[in-house]
């Protein structure tokens, strides 16, 4: 922007376009949230049309020639912005999104929104019945539309690149594949060593009867302790836990409870709190703009995995909260030692359900989904072959095979949303979380010490200053290099796993 301020009127017009787009996105998010929480089942058709209209309006705003002309006049470009220059960052992000949007016809945006909304309802019914065939037609239609979308956006190496870039900007399929090729054998080796250690970990305590009402009370106590502000957010229940921002001061969390498996509700709630704290922590200079988003979904996931695992599954955390959990469930936990509970919540056992997987095998779940959806998008796998391919991959990577479709191919909501390219961000989030934790400890000292004394404010303050406040003004690569001095690496995460699980399983 010109230093004499002559470009300010241009920037004001651009900000107004951006403000309308953000409001439309938040309005659509509200409808999505209601669909997953309180909407009556018969409302599916009308809701699909409502969401399609809002998303088409947002797309028209983003792809409008008027915005393109304004961005050109403002000399917007894709270059890395000057550190701290939010105007340059906003122009860069809007130009990138505008160029993508103009390649995609509004008709396709509407059809994707309409189809994904109805597909989510079809997925829920199919999942309840554990019957993939009931979901197959919707998935086939969504897959066709997403391929069309990828072709419209354009790609070079793989059509999957165009979809991955929506969630993990400036990252290619080949780069993800290279990371996973390094990660998978190391995770497999650690899983094998743990299995061969011969040290039993009794997790039976987690499968007793835990009334949902008490689980929710405990979860709310934890949310408040880590800094979630209920005057700026809500906690509700949905089939698949998620968090969503409906505004700068309105962030919703959902979770799900299993009265016969305690970790599901506890760690699902903490996980979504990590996402919500990120959304609530954007700096004043970016609130209400397109920069008020995560730098990428991998960065977003780094926050949820940090709170869920690095903090929430640590011994230091439970030194704080285990006495209170025992008071919530005296009959179930009375006399059960803290150290045994810590080992139980960190048991490593290949399992079927991703959201309930342990830290070591979780990445293998993500790799499974990445391989399958990449094959679907590239045309190497037909939707009709997906259940068998899923079961075979589960057996190969995890050593377990689903007994029905609900345990396997139907367990995640993402494909019913058309969110192909999303899954790799989960594993990337694990890697980022470990890198950022190392950087945090260099400044604050031992994380365990802070957590054990309940100083979550210091932890959140560091995250706010170094990650949350900048939002999307930095790319994930810029953010990682700025905080750690190097690009994303797998080694800090693998070191974290080794350091944690070696004493639990007495590994050599």
DSSP output for 83-103: TT-HHHHHHHHHHHHHHHHHT
Walk across the sheet containing 250-255 and list its strands.
Answer: 233-237, 250-255, 243-247
Q: How many CB atoms lie within 10 A of CB 331?
A: 7
Q: Are 256 and 240 spatial neighbours (Cβ–Cβ below 8 Å)?
A: yes
H/E run at residue 447:
helix 447-452
Beta-bridge partners for 251: 233, 245
CA-to-CA distance for 427 and 429, rounded, in angstroms?
Answer: 5
> Beta-strand (E) ranges in 172-325?
233-237, 243-247, 250-255
Q: How many CB atoms lie within 10 A of CB 297?
A: 24
* DSSP collapsed to 3 states, 98-133: HHHHHCCCHHHHHHHHHHHHHHHHHHHHHHHHCCHH
Per the residue annotation, which of 61, 272, 301, 407 is the catalytic one? 272
Spell out the long-range contacts of 321-324 with Cβ–Cβ below 8 A and sequence spacing 24 or more: 321/222, 321/225, 324/218, 324/221
The answer to whether residue 324 is catalytic is: no
Report helix, strand or coil for 443.
helix
Residues recognised as catalytic? 272
């Amino acid at each position: 922007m010109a230093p004499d301020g002559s470009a300010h009127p241009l920037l004001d017009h651009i900000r107004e376009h951006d403000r309308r787009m953000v409001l439309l996105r938040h309005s659509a998010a509200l409808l999505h949230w209601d669909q997953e929480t309180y909407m009556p089942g018969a409302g599916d058709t009308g809701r699909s049309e409502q969401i399609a209209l809002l998303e088409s309006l947002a797309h028209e705003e983003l792809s409008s020639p008027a915005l393109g002309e304004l961005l050109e006049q403002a000399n917007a470009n894709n270059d890395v912005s000057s550190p701290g220059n939010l105007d340059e960052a906003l122009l860069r992000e809007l130009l990138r999104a505008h160029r993508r949007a103009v390649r995609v016809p509004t008709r396709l945006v509407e059809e994707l929104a309409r189809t994904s909304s109805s597909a989510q309802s079809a997925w829920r019914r199919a999942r309840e019945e554990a019957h993939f065939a009931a979901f197959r037609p919707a998935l086939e239609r969504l897959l066709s539309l997403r391929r069309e979308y990828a072709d419209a956006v354009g790609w070079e190496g793989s059509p999957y690149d165009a979809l991955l870039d929506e969630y993990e900007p400036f990252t290619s399929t080949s780069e993800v594949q290279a990371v996973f090729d390094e990660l998978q054998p190391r995770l497999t080796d650690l899983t094998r060593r743990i299995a061969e250690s011969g040290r039993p970990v009794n997790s039976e305590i987690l499968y007793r009867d835990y009334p949902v009402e008490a689980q929710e009370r405990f979860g709310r106590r934890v949310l408040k302790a880590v800094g979630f502000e209920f005057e700026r957010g809500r906690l509700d229940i949905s089939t698949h836990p998620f968090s969503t921002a409906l505004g700068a001061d309105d962030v919703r969390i959902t979770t799900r409870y299993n009265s016969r498996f305690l970790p599901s509700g506890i760690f699902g709630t903490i996980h979504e709190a990590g996402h919500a704290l990120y959304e609530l922590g954007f700096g004043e200079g970016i609130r209400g703009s397109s920069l008020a988003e995560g730098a990428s979904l991998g960065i977003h996931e780094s926050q949820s995995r940090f709170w869920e695992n690095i903090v929430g599954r640590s011994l230091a955390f439970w030194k704080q909260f285990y006495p209170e959990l025992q008071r919530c469930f005296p009959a179930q936990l009375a006399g059960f030692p803290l150290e045994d509970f810590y080992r139980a919540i960190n048991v490593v056992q290949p399992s079927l359900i991703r959201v309930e997987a342990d830290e070591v095998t979780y990445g293998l779940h993500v790799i499974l989904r990445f391989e399958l959806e990449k094959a679907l998008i590239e045309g190497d796998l037909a939707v009709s072959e997906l259940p068998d391919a899923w079961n075979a991959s589960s057996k190969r990577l995890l050593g377990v095979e689903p007994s029905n479709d609900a345990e396997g191919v139907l367990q995640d909501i993402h494909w019913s949303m058309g969110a192909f390219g999303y899954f790799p961000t989960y594993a990337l989030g694990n890697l980022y979380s470990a890198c950022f934790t190392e950087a945090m400890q260099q400044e604050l000292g031992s994380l365990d010490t802070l957590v054990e004394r309940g100083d979550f404010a210091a932890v959140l303050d560091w995250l706010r200053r170094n990650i949350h406040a900048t939002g999307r003004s930095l790319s994930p690569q810029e953010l990682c290099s700025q905080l750690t001095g190097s690009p994303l690496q797998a080694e800090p995460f693998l070191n974290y796993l080794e350091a944690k699980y070696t004493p639990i399983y007495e590994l050599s």
